[in-house]
Homo-oligomer: A and B are copies of this chain.
Amino acid sequence: MSIEVVLGIDIGGTYTKFGIVDRDGSLHYEDDIETDKYKDPGQFAFALHEIIHHHLSENNNDFDLKGIGIGAPNGNYYTGNIEQAPNLLWKGIITLSDIFEKKFGVPAVLTNDANAAAIGEMVFGDAKDLKNFLMITLGTGLGSGLVVNGQLVYGHDGFAGELGHVCVRQNGRKCGCGKRGCLETYVSATGIKRTVFELLATETDASVFRDMTFSDLDSKQITEAAEKGDPIAIKAFNITGEILGKSLADTVAHISPAKIFLFGGLALAGKWIFEPTKKHMENSLLPIFSNKIDILPSALLHKNIAVLGAAALMWNESA
């Protein structure tokens, strides 16, 4: 008997990851291609179809492909379109789920990558029993997926859940979105790098980072330095956690989630990010919310949550 599966796709600016996922969240096959090799989303869908078709036929059609779930920057669940994504070569409005439905002949659904991650946690992770929770993805930027009353919050236009762009500093750091002071300019892999370089200017501590260029630094090195006691690295984590924790307290005032999950490179830093975040969130909460909201690493921290989440999005549709 064939196994029912969906194709989960996580589109990033440089790479697209994808996998064949069954109802239980098992990944039967995964691979990636370079997104930016394809100037046209039609060619992109064609290439993915070739790969998947090849794989499915190699496996004697043991898999029954039921649908496609896609996580993509500026992906709009309501329309199935990618709209004005700054980090993709495909400009304007891209009717991506239509393109995939036509190419593959199965239903396709689309949302942004952070929403896909939230659905991944809800379907395959530690949010299975939660009706109200928050997913924060800490990558190059900061993404978020809000779940309220058991449903993803898409808002009136499909673009809700952009917590990376709440303002945490008036006239603060310049953000890729054009505004200043956005949360993700402080809290993200890039944000903590910027904080390290600010600290190199404001503080006098010795640090391994005094001999490193901005371009060469990645956030994993900041965790490694913190482990070795580098004072600039430790201060950078404390500042990052303080800004994240205070901002999360404001989000709690909006939706009162039972739990907050962190995912992504910065979440892998463990105590260095979780401890200051928890402390400053607690100190900033309305008393009525004190000591009842958990901040936890995603259960899918070491898996490709966006591929699993994109697949879960499709499974949710056919549930």
Q: Which residues of A contact B (CB under 8 A)?
A: 74, 83-84, 130-133, 146, 148-149, 151, 153-163, 165-167, 170, 177-179, 246, 249-251, 253-258, 284, 286-289, 292
Contacts and interface: CB of A to CB of B under 8 A. Distances in A.
Contacts of A288: 74, 83-84, 157, 159, 162
Contact of A167 (B148, B154, B284, B289): B284
Contacts of A249: 167
Nearest to A284: B167
B255 A159 contact: no
10 contacts: A132-B160, A146-B254, A148-B149, A149-B154, A161-B256, A163-B253, A166-B253, A167-B250, A250-B250, A251-B254
Contacts of A161: 253-254, 256
Contacts of A255: 146, 153, 155, 160, 254-255
A311 to B, nearest CB: 23
A286 B162 contact: yes
Contacts of A256: 153-161
Contacts of A258: 156-157
B132 A155 contact: yes
Contacts of A153: 148-149, 254-256
A235 to B, nearest CB: 18
Given A132-B156, A286-B179, A162 B253 contact: yes
B254 A160 contact: yes
A279 to B, nearest CB: 15
Nearest to A134: B254
Nearest to A131: B156
A160 B250 CA distance: 11
A159 B292 CA distance: 12
Given A132-B155, A286-B179, A166 B250 contact: yes
Given A249-B167, A254-B163, A254-B254, A287 B156 contact: no
A316 B59 CA distance: 53
Nearest to A292: B157
A288 B155 CA distance: 12
